[in-house]
Amino acid sequence: MLRLGRREFDAHEPVIMAIVNRTPDSFYDQGATFRDEPALARVEQAVAEGAAIIDIGGVKAGPGEEVTAEEEARRTVGFVAEVRRRFPDVVISVDTWRHEVGEAVCEAGADLLNDAWGGVDPRLAEVAARYRVGLVCTHAGESEPRTRPHRVAYDDVMADILRVTLGLAERAVALGVPRESVLIDPGHDFGKNTRHSLEATRRLGEMVSTGWPVLVSLSNKDFVGETLDKPVKERVLGTLATTAVSAWLGAQVYRVHEVAETRQVLDMVASIAGHRPPAVARRGLA
């Protein structure tokens, strides 16, 4: 059982985490949800389309203009509070690596801290423990935040992913983060080249077999673009194909831009796997 905020999710229940970027320079939408009203409209649409988690980020993942902790908090804290007020039952996640920002958003009502940079600030897990919120433990290849990988190499990329994420997860629980609220993430593209991310996808079952719920952040990423030689706006089909494979291998949470399309893919895979009945079953029964 995965517990986040007011929600509980069964082991075979696929969960959508919708991305809401509070940045003016997102790689995907170039700041479409930087202002409050478009961002709140995005939240409303994502919830209507089937997202159970809203992931709010105040700093783009890639290189760019410096964003201080104070500016990151300014972009996220008030917005978290407003989403909490308007959508009391949605799970609110905040994508941050900084403990100062984590503390502020937890005070505002966040349920989950999405640490995409692999514990670079060890105090973030302490914040999650103090507030009894969830934590995403990610493999980022020991990269510094907002840097791109350069000639990275692993003897065995999945072995390193397991070593790092399981270590972070066990440390979080030892600090007091509820075990049922900890997720592990292979960190596609983070500290990895395209072949590493493809191998991490292919071997995702090894993460699932650990018993920790697995989150994947696949949406329109560079490994999809390089695999198919497609620009950002033409990566949806590749993303959905990767989503289907990940779902079949047992990943549970999907951080996405396209909520409605992902919902259909996950429902279809769940029905093929026997975890979900068809929405309608009339064929051959008339």
Task: Quote the pLDDT of residue 33.
Answer: 83
- Provide the strand spans (E) within 214-265: 215-217, 253-256
Domain extents for the chain?
Answer: 2-273
DSSP string computed for 122-168: THHHHHHHHHT-EEEEE--TTPPTT----S---SSHHHHHHHHHHHH
- We find that the CATH architecture of domain 2-273 is Alpha-Beta Barrel (3.20)
Per-residue confidence band for 24, with pLDDT thresholds at 50, 70 and 90: confident
Q: How many Å apart are CA 172 and CA 129, to the nearest integer?
A: 7
pTM of the model: 0.96
Residue in 255, 263, 276, 283 annotated catalytic: 255
Per-residue confidence band for 160, with pLDDT thresholds at 50, 70 and 90: very high
pLDDT 10s digits, 189-242: 999 999 999 999 999 999 999 999 999 999 999 999 999 999 999 999 999 999
Catalytic residue at 7? no
| 49 contacts: CB under 8 Å, gap ≥ 6 | 259, 260, 263
Q: What percent of the chain has pLDDT over 90?
A: 94
Token pair for 11? 């082991």
Q: How many Å apart are CA 16 and CA 252, to the nearest integer?
A: 9
Token pair for 147? 């840097």
> Residue 214 half-sphere exposure, CB side, CA atoms within 13 Å?
27
Task: Quote the pLDDT of residue 281.
Answer: 92
Residue in 22, 98, 171, 221 annotated catalytic: 221
Average pLDDT of the residues in 23-51: 89
Catalytic residue at 203? no
| 3 contacts: CB under 8 Å, gap ≥ 6 | 9, 134, 178, 180, 181
Q: In this model, does residue 34 exceed pLDDT 90? A: no
Name the 3-class secondary structure at 212: coil
